[in-house]
Structure 1
Amino acid sequence: MKLMHAEHVAKQKAKCADCHQPLIHKEGDFIEAARLNCASCHPNHHSLQKTLLVGAAYGEVPETPSLMNPVKTNCLGCHDKSDMYKGEKILRGSAESCAGCHTQDHKKLLADWIKEVQTEVKFARGEMARAEALIVQLKGQLSEEQTTELKQLLEKGSKTLDLVEFGNGVHNKKYSIMLIDEGLNGVYTVLDELEPLAEEADAEKQQ
Protein backbone atom coordinates (compact mmCIF):
# COMPACT_ATOMS: atom_id res chain seq x y z
CA MET A 1 0.00 0.00 0.00
CA LYS A 2 2.83 2.40 0.88
CA LEU A 3 4.48 1.68 -2.47
CA MET A 4 1.27 2.41 -4.36
CA HIS A 5 0.83 5.73 -2.58
CA ALA A 6 4.50 6.65 -2.92
CA GLU A 7 4.37 6.15 -6.68
CA HIS A 8 1.01 7.76 -7.41
CA VAL A 9 0.59 10.37 -4.68
CA ALA A 10 4.10 11.46 -3.71
CA LYS A 11 5.69 11.21 -7.15
CA GLN A 12 2.81 11.88 -9.54
CA LYS A 13 0.73 14.14 -7.29
CA ALA A 14 -2.43 12.08 -7.70
CA LYS A 15 -5.36 12.96 -5.45
CA CYS A 16 -7.39 10.41 -3.50
CA ALA A 17 -10.39 10.78 -5.79
CA ASP A 18 -8.25 10.15 -8.88
CA CYS A 19 -8.11 6.47 -7.96
CA HIS A 20 -10.63 5.89 -5.18
CA GLN A 21 -14.19 6.28 -6.44
CA PRO A 22 -16.41 6.42 -4.52
CA LEU A 23 -14.56 7.60 -1.42
CA ILE A 24 -15.69 5.31 1.40
CA HIS A 25 -13.83 5.16 4.69
CA LYS A 26 -14.12 1.55 5.75
CA GLU A 27 -12.09 -1.63 5.78
CA GLY A 28 -12.02 -3.65 2.58
CA ASP A 29 -9.81 -5.05 -0.14
CA PHE A 30 -6.56 -3.14 0.24
CA ILE A 31 -6.41 -2.09 -3.41
CA GLU A 32 -9.77 -2.92 -4.98
CA ALA A 33 -11.00 0.66 -5.28
CA ALA A 34 -7.83 1.82 -7.00
CA ARG A 35 -7.59 -1.27 -9.19
CA LEU A 36 -11.06 -0.70 -10.62
CA ASN A 37 -10.05 2.78 -11.75
CA CYS A 38 -6.58 2.05 -13.16
CA ALA A 39 -7.98 2.06 -16.70
CA SER A 40 -8.92 5.74 -16.41
CA CYS A 41 -5.21 6.56 -16.69
CA HIS A 42 -3.90 3.28 -18.10
CA PRO A 43 -6.33 1.98 -20.78
CA ASN A 44 -5.76 -1.75 -21.32
CA HIS A 45 -2.53 -1.36 -19.39
CA HIS A 46 -0.90 -4.74 -18.81
CA SER A 47 -4.11 -6.54 -19.75
CA LEU A 48 -2.26 -9.74 -20.67
CA GLN A 49 -0.39 -9.79 -17.38
CA LYS A 50 -3.64 -9.25 -15.49
CA THR A 51 -5.25 -12.12 -17.38
CA LEU A 52 -2.42 -14.42 -16.34
CA LEU A 53 -2.57 -13.29 -12.72
CA VAL A 54 -6.33 -13.87 -12.50
CA GLY A 55 -5.97 -17.28 -14.14
CA ALA A 56 -9.59 -17.63 -15.25
CA ALA A 57 -10.81 -20.85 -16.87
CA TYR A 58 -9.67 -20.88 -20.51
CA GLY A 59 -10.84 -23.63 -22.86
CA GLU A 60 -9.97 -26.89 -21.12
CA VAL A 61 -7.69 -25.10 -18.64
CA PRO A 62 -9.30 -24.85 -15.18
CA GLU A 63 -9.30 -21.69 -13.11
CA THR A 64 -5.75 -21.32 -11.79
CA PRO A 65 -5.10 -17.99 -10.03
CA SER A 66 -1.55 -16.82 -9.48
CA LEU A 67 0.09 -17.81 -6.20
CA MET A 68 0.27 -14.08 -5.46
CA ASN A 69 -3.52 -13.72 -5.30
CA PRO A 70 -4.17 -15.36 -1.90
CA VAL A 71 -1.56 -13.17 -0.21
CA LYS A 72 -2.78 -10.02 -2.00
CA THR A 73 0.61 -9.16 -3.45
CA ASN A 74 0.20 -6.38 -6.00
CA CYS A 75 2.49 -5.52 -8.92
CA LEU A 76 4.82 -3.37 -6.85
CA GLY A 77 5.44 -6.25 -4.48
CA CYS A 78 7.64 -7.82 -7.17
CA HIS A 79 8.36 -4.97 -9.59
CA ASP A 80 10.74 -2.89 -7.54
CA LYS A 81 13.70 -2.31 -9.85
CA SER A 82 13.75 1.03 -11.70
CA ASP A 83 14.67 0.93 -15.38
CA MET A 84 14.08 2.84 -18.62
CA TYR A 85 12.15 1.44 -21.58
CA LYS A 86 11.49 3.40 -24.77
CA GLY A 87 12.28 6.61 -22.95
CA GLU A 88 9.90 5.91 -20.07
CA LYS A 89 10.63 4.94 -16.50
CA ILE A 90 9.40 1.46 -15.66
CA LEU A 91 9.65 -0.94 -12.75
CA ARG A 92 10.93 -4.43 -13.49
CA GLY A 93 10.46 -7.52 -11.41
CA SER A 94 13.64 -8.80 -9.82
CA ALA A 95 14.94 -11.94 -8.19
CA GLU A 96 15.88 -9.81 -5.19
CA SER A 97 12.21 -9.09 -4.51
CA CYS A 98 11.55 -12.86 -4.43
CA ALA A 99 14.31 -13.36 -1.87
CA GLY A 100 13.00 -10.43 0.15
CA CYS A 101 9.84 -12.36 1.05
CA HIS A 102 11.10 -15.92 0.68
CA THR A 103 14.66 -17.30 0.64
CA GLN A 104 17.81 -16.77 -1.38
CA ASP A 105 16.99 -20.00 -3.24
CA HIS A 106 14.02 -18.23 -4.81
CA LYS A 107 16.40 -16.09 -6.87
CA LYS A 108 17.28 -19.18 -8.89
CA LEU A 109 13.67 -20.35 -8.93
CA LEU A 110 12.58 -17.23 -10.80
CA ALA A 111 15.28 -17.76 -13.44
CA ASP A 112 14.24 -21.41 -13.78
CA TRP A 113 10.59 -20.44 -14.27
CA ILE A 114 11.46 -17.87 -16.92
CA LYS A 115 13.63 -20.38 -18.79
CA GLU A 116 10.99 -23.12 -18.63
CA VAL A 117 8.20 -20.90 -19.96
CA GLN A 118 10.38 -19.50 -22.74
CA THR A 119 11.51 -23.00 -23.74
CA GLU A 120 7.94 -24.29 -23.88
CA VAL A 121 6.73 -21.30 -25.91
CA LYS A 122 9.60 -21.72 -28.37
CA PHE A 123 8.77 -25.40 -28.82
CA ALA A 124 5.07 -24.64 -29.34
CA ARG A 125 5.90 -21.96 -31.93
CA GLY A 126 8.01 -24.52 -33.77
CA GLU A 127 5.17 -27.03 -33.86
CA MET A 128 2.82 -24.32 -35.11
CA ALA A 129 5.26 -23.44 -37.88
CA ARG A 130 5.28 -27.10 -38.95
CA ALA A 131 1.48 -27.13 -39.10
CA GLU A 132 1.37 -23.88 -41.08
CA ALA A 133 3.91 -25.25 -43.57
CA LEU A 134 1.80 -28.37 -44.13
CA ILE A 135 -1.28 -26.28 -44.90
CA VAL A 136 0.72 -24.46 -47.58
CA GLN A 137 2.26 -27.69 -48.88
CA LEU A 138 -1.11 -29.45 -49.20
CA LYS A 139 -3.08 -26.47 -50.44
CA GLY A 140 -4.11 -28.24 -53.64
CA GLN A 141 -5.48 -31.24 -51.75
CA LEU A 142 -7.53 -29.36 -49.18
CA SER A 143 -10.96 -27.90 -49.71
CA GLU A 144 -11.51 -24.25 -48.93
CA GLU A 145 -13.63 -25.28 -45.96
CA GLN A 146 -10.89 -27.57 -44.62
CA THR A 147 -8.24 -24.88 -45.03
CA THR A 148 -10.36 -22.31 -43.20
CA GLU A 149 -11.10 -24.71 -40.35
CA LEU A 150 -7.45 -25.68 -39.92
CA LYS A 151 -6.28 -22.07 -40.02
CA GLN A 152 -8.83 -21.15 -37.37
CA LEU A 153 -7.45 -23.85 -35.09
CA LEU A 154 -3.95 -22.46 -35.52
CA GLU A 155 -5.11 -18.89 -35.01
CA LYS A 156 -6.76 -19.86 -31.74
CA GLY A 157 -3.58 -21.61 -30.63
CA SER A 158 -1.47 -18.62 -31.64
CA LYS A 159 -3.58 -16.25 -29.53
CA THR A 160 -3.14 -18.54 -26.55
CA LEU A 161 0.63 -18.57 -27.03
CA ASP A 162 0.61 -14.78 -27.44
CA LEU A 163 -1.04 -14.48 -24.04
CA VAL A 164 1.77 -16.45 -22.42
CA GLU A 165 4.64 -14.94 -24.41
CA PHE A 166 3.66 -11.28 -24.34
CA GLY A 167 2.00 -11.42 -20.92
CA ASN A 168 5.21 -12.96 -19.57
CA GLY A 169 4.15 -16.39 -18.39
CA VAL A 170 6.21 -16.17 -15.21
CA HIS A 171 3.37 -14.06 -13.75
CA ASN A 172 1.52 -17.36 -13.35
CA LYS A 173 3.85 -20.17 -14.35
CA LYS A 174 1.54 -23.13 -13.66
CA TYR A 175 -1.34 -21.54 -15.57
CA SER A 176 0.97 -20.56 -18.44
CA ILE A 177 2.25 -24.10 -18.94
CA MET A 178 -1.34 -25.34 -19.09
CA LEU A 179 -2.20 -22.60 -21.58
CA ILE A 180 0.69 -23.66 -23.81
CA ASP A 181 -0.64 -27.23 -23.76
CA GLU A 182 -4.10 -25.88 -24.60
CA GLY A 183 -2.67 -23.98 -27.56
CA LEU A 184 -0.84 -27.08 -28.74
CA ASN A 185 -4.05 -29.13 -28.75
CA GLY A 186 -5.27 -27.33 -31.86
CA VAL A 187 -1.83 -27.51 -33.45
CA TYR A 188 -1.68 -31.27 -33.00
CA THR A 189 -5.19 -31.65 -34.38
CA VAL A 190 -3.90 -30.01 -37.57
CA LEU A 191 -0.72 -32.10 -37.63
CA ASP A 192 -2.62 -35.34 -37.03
CA GLU A 193 -4.86 -34.57 -39.99
CA LEU A 194 -2.21 -33.34 -42.41
CA GLU A 195 0.90 -35.40 -41.72
CA PRO A 196 -0.60 -38.63 -43.18
CA LEU A 197 -1.61 -36.70 -46.31
CA ALA A 198 1.90 -35.27 -46.63
CA GLU A 199 3.42 -38.74 -46.25
CA GLU A 200 1.12 -40.10 -48.97
CA ALA A 201 2.05 -37.24 -51.27
CA ASP A 202 5.76 -37.87 -50.70
CA ALA A 203 5.32 -41.60 -51.35
CA GLU A 204 3.56 -40.90 -54.65
CA LYS A 205 6.39 -38.63 -55.77
CA GLN A 206 8.94 -41.38 -55.12
CA GLN A 207 7.08 -43.97 -57.22
Structure 2
Amino acid sequence: MRKYFVTGLLILVPLAITIWVLNLIISTMDQSLLLLPERWRPEAVVGFHIPGLGTILTLMVIFLTGLATRNFVGKRIVWAWEALLTRIPVVRSIYSSVKQVSDTLFSSSGNAFRKALLVQYPREGSWTIGFLTGVPGGDVRNHLQGDYVSLYIPTTPNPTSGFFLMVPRADTIELEMNVDEALKYIVSMGVVAPEYFEKKLIIDPAKV
Protein backbone atom coordinates (compact mmCIF):
# COMPACT_ATOMS: atom_id res chain seq x y z
CA MET A 1 0.00 0.00 0.00
CA ARG A 2 2.89 2.37 0.73
CA LYS A 3 4.31 1.78 -2.75
CA TYR A 4 0.95 2.51 -4.39
CA PHE A 5 0.49 5.64 -2.29
CA VAL A 6 3.93 7.00 -3.24
CA THR A 7 3.24 6.24 -6.92
CA GLY A 8 -0.02 8.17 -6.70
CA LEU A 9 1.79 11.11 -5.10
CA LEU A 10 4.41 11.15 -7.84
CA ILE A 11 1.64 11.44 -10.44
CA LEU A 12 -0.76 13.83 -8.71
CA VAL A 13 1.58 16.26 -6.91
CA PRO A 14 3.24 17.67 -10.08
CA LEU A 15 -0.18 17.88 -11.76
CA ALA A 16 -1.72 19.67 -8.77
CA ILE A 17 1.14 22.16 -8.49
CA THR A 18 0.97 22.86 -12.25
CA ILE A 19 -2.77 23.50 -12.08
CA TRP A 20 -2.31 25.71 -9.00
CA VAL A 21 0.38 27.83 -10.69
CA LEU A 22 -1.67 28.21 -13.89
CA ASN A 23 -4.77 29.12 -11.87
CA LEU A 24 -2.77 31.73 -9.94
CA ILE A 25 -1.43 33.28 -13.15
CA ILE A 26 -4.78 33.28 -14.95
CA SER A 27 -6.73 34.63 -11.96
CA THR A 28 -4.17 37.41 -11.51
CA MET A 29 -4.30 38.40 -15.19
CA ASP A 30 -8.11 38.27 -15.10
CA GLN A 31 -8.00 41.27 -12.77
CA SER A 32 -7.38 43.40 -15.87
CA LEU A 33 -11.14 43.17 -16.54
CA LEU A 34 -11.64 45.55 -13.62
CA LEU A 35 -10.17 48.29 -15.82
CA LEU A 36 -13.16 48.02 -18.17
CA PRO A 37 -16.39 49.94 -17.55
CA GLU A 38 -18.81 47.84 -15.53
CA ARG A 39 -21.31 47.55 -18.38
CA TRP A 40 -18.60 46.06 -20.66
CA ARG A 41 -17.53 43.31 -18.28
CA PRO A 42 -18.52 39.68 -19.06
CA GLU A 43 -20.73 39.48 -15.96
CA ALA A 44 -22.86 42.34 -17.28
CA VAL A 45 -22.96 41.07 -20.89
CA VAL A 46 -23.49 37.31 -20.51
CA GLY A 47 -24.52 37.21 -16.87
CA PHE A 48 -21.67 35.07 -15.50
CA HIS A 49 -17.88 35.14 -15.13
CA ILE A 50 -15.79 33.56 -17.89
CA PRO A 51 -12.30 32.56 -16.66
CA GLY A 52 -9.46 33.47 -18.98
CA LEU A 53 -10.97 36.53 -20.68
CA GLY A 54 -8.80 38.83 -18.57
CA THR A 55 -5.75 36.82 -19.61
CA ILE A 56 -6.64 37.25 -23.28
CA LEU A 57 -7.23 40.97 -22.70
CA THR A 58 -3.87 41.36 -20.94
CA LEU A 59 -1.99 39.56 -23.73
CA MET A 60 -3.75 41.67 -26.35
CA VAL A 61 -2.84 44.90 -24.53
CA ILE A 62 0.80 43.81 -24.28
CA PHE A 63 0.91 42.85 -27.97
CA LEU A 64 -0.83 46.02 -29.18
CA THR A 65 1.43 48.17 -26.99
CA GLY A 66 4.51 46.58 -28.52
CA LEU A 67 3.03 46.92 -32.00
CA ALA A 68 2.12 50.58 -31.53
CA THR A 69 5.52 51.57 -30.15
CA ARG A 70 7.50 50.04 -33.01
CA ASN A 71 6.81 52.90 -35.40
CA PHE A 72 8.18 56.45 -35.32
CA VAL A 73 5.13 58.03 -33.68
CA GLY A 74 4.96 55.37 -30.98
CA LYS A 75 8.64 55.75 -30.18
CA ARG A 76 8.21 59.51 -29.81
CA ILE A 77 5.27 58.99 -27.44
CA VAL A 78 7.30 56.55 -25.32
CA TRP A 79 10.23 58.97 -25.29
CA ALA A 80 7.98 61.81 -24.12
CA TRP A 81 6.37 59.59 -21.48
CA GLU A 82 9.73 58.47 -20.10
CA ALA A 83 11.00 62.06 -20.11
CA LEU A 84 7.98 63.03 -18.01
CA LEU A 85 8.51 60.18 -15.52
CA THR A 86 12.19 61.01 -15.09
CA ARG A 87 11.23 64.51 -13.93
CA ILE A 88 9.22 63.23 -10.94
CA PRO A 89 11.63 62.87 -7.95
CA VAL A 90 10.43 59.62 -6.33
CA VAL A 91 9.10 57.98 -9.49
CA ARG A 92 12.32 58.71 -11.36
CA SER A 93 14.53 56.48 -9.20
CA ILE A 94 12.04 53.60 -9.12
CA TYR A 95 11.17 53.71 -12.82
CA SER A 96 14.79 54.05 -13.97
CA SER A 97 15.95 51.11 -11.86
CA VAL A 98 13.10 48.83 -12.92
CA LYS A 99 13.53 49.79 -16.58
CA GLN A 100 17.25 49.02 -16.55
CA VAL A 101 16.61 45.62 -15.01
CA SER A 102 13.76 44.78 -17.40
CA ASP A 103 15.76 45.93 -20.43
CA THR A 104 18.62 43.67 -19.35
CA LEU A 105 16.43 40.64 -18.65
CA PHE A 106 14.01 40.81 -21.58
CA SER A 107 16.07 42.43 -24.30
CA SER A 108 17.23 40.03 -27.02
CA SER A 109 20.61 41.75 -26.99
CA GLY A 110 21.08 41.45 -23.23
CA ASN A 111 23.60 39.10 -21.62
CA ALA A 112 21.77 38.45 -18.33
CA PHE A 113 21.27 34.83 -17.31
CA ARG A 114 22.87 33.56 -20.51
CA LYS A 115 25.39 31.26 -18.81
CA ALA A 116 25.43 28.97 -15.79
CA LEU A 117 28.65 29.00 -13.80
CA LEU A 118 30.08 26.92 -10.99
CA VAL A 119 31.44 29.04 -8.15
CA GLN A 120 32.72 28.42 -4.62
CA TYR A 121 30.12 29.78 -2.18
CA PRO A 122 29.61 30.46 0.72
CA ARG A 123 33.14 29.27 1.53
CA GLU A 124 36.11 27.78 -0.25
CA GLY A 125 35.56 24.13 -1.04
CA SER A 126 31.78 24.49 -1.16
CA TRP A 127 30.37 24.84 -4.68
CA THR A 128 27.08 26.16 -6.04
CA ILE A 129 25.58 27.25 -9.35
CA GLY A 130 25.37 30.92 -10.28
CA PHE A 131 24.21 32.83 -13.33
CA LEU A 132 26.34 35.32 -15.21
CA THR A 133 24.73 38.79 -15.22
CA GLY A 134 27.58 40.84 -16.65
CA VAL A 135 30.71 42.56 -15.42
CA PRO A 136 31.14 45.14 -12.63
CA GLY A 137 30.60 48.70 -13.78
CA GLY A 138 30.62 52.26 -12.52
CA ASP A 139 32.83 53.18 -9.60
CA VAL A 140 32.99 49.53 -8.53
CA ARG A 141 35.22 48.77 -11.51
CA ASN A 142 37.82 51.27 -10.24
CA HIS A 143 38.26 49.31 -7.01
CA LEU A 144 38.55 45.81 -8.47
CA GLN A 145 41.87 44.80 -9.95
CA GLY A 146 41.71 42.10 -12.59
CA ASP A 147 39.00 40.38 -14.61
CA TYR A 148 35.81 40.13 -12.55
CA VAL A 149 32.30 38.93 -13.40
CA SER A 150 28.94 39.65 -11.78
CA LEU A 151 26.95 36.64 -10.62
CA TYR A 152 23.47 35.98 -9.29
CA ILE A 153 23.42 33.11 -6.78
CA PRO A 154 19.83 31.83 -6.42
CA THR A 155 18.51 30.18 -3.28
CA THR A 156 16.91 26.73 -3.13
CA PRO A 157 14.12 25.88 -3.78
CA ASN A 158 13.00 29.47 -4.48
CA PRO A 159 15.32 30.91 -7.16
CA THR A 160 13.60 34.31 -7.15
CA SER A 161 15.64 35.29 -4.10
CA GLY A 162 19.39 35.10 -3.91
CA PHE A 163 22.68 36.98 -3.65
CA PHE A 164 24.66 39.24 -5.94
CA LEU A 165 28.40 38.55 -6.07
CA MET A 166 31.40 39.93 -7.96
CA VAL A 167 34.14 37.34 -8.21
CA PRO A 168 37.28 36.85 -10.33
CA ARG A 169 36.50 35.14 -13.61
CA ALA A 170 39.30 32.66 -12.93
CA ASP A 171 37.42 31.44 -9.82
CA THR A 172 34.40 30.35 -11.88
CA ILE A 173 33.82 27.32 -14.10
CA GLU A 174 31.51 27.69 -17.09
CA LEU A 175 29.02 24.83 -17.32
CA GLU A 176 27.76 23.23 -20.51
CA MET A 177 24.19 23.02 -19.17
CA ASN A 178 21.86 25.83 -20.22
CA VAL A 179 20.03 28.17 -17.86
CA ASP A 180 16.79 26.14 -17.86
CA GLU A 181 18.61 22.95 -16.90
CA ALA A 182 20.51 24.77 -14.18
CA LEU A 183 17.29 26.23 -12.75
CA LYS A 184 15.66 22.79 -12.65
CA TYR A 185 18.73 21.46 -10.86
CA ILE A 186 18.55 24.26 -8.28
CA VAL A 187 14.78 24.11 -7.70
CA SER A 188 14.88 20.33 -7.25
CA MET A 189 17.67 20.73 -4.66
CA GLY A 190 19.99 18.62 -6.79
CA VAL A 191 17.55 15.74 -7.27
CA VAL A 192 16.83 16.37 -10.97
CA ALA A 193 20.29 16.34 -12.50
CA PRO A 194 20.57 17.39 -16.16
CA GLU A 195 21.79 14.85 -18.66
CA TYR A 196 25.39 15.15 -19.70
CA PHE A 197 27.90 13.37 -21.84
CA GLU A 198 31.30 12.55 -20.45
CA LYS A 199 34.18 13.98 -22.42
CA LYS A 200 36.32 11.07 -23.55
CA LEU A 201 39.74 11.32 -25.10
CA ILE A 202 39.57 9.95 -28.62
CA ILE A 203 42.91 8.63 -29.85
CA ASP A 204 43.53 8.42 -33.56
CA PRO A 205 45.17 5.03 -34.25
CA ALA A 206 47.04 6.51 -37.20
CA LYS A 207 48.89 8.88 -34.87
CA VAL A 208 49.91 6.22 -32.37
**Which bracket does the TM-score occupy, shorter chain normalised?**
under 0.3
TM-score by length of 1: 0.21
Which is richer in helix? 1
TM-score by length of 2: 0.21
Which is richer in strand? 2
When Rg is computed on C-alpha atoms for both structures, the one with the higher figure is: 2
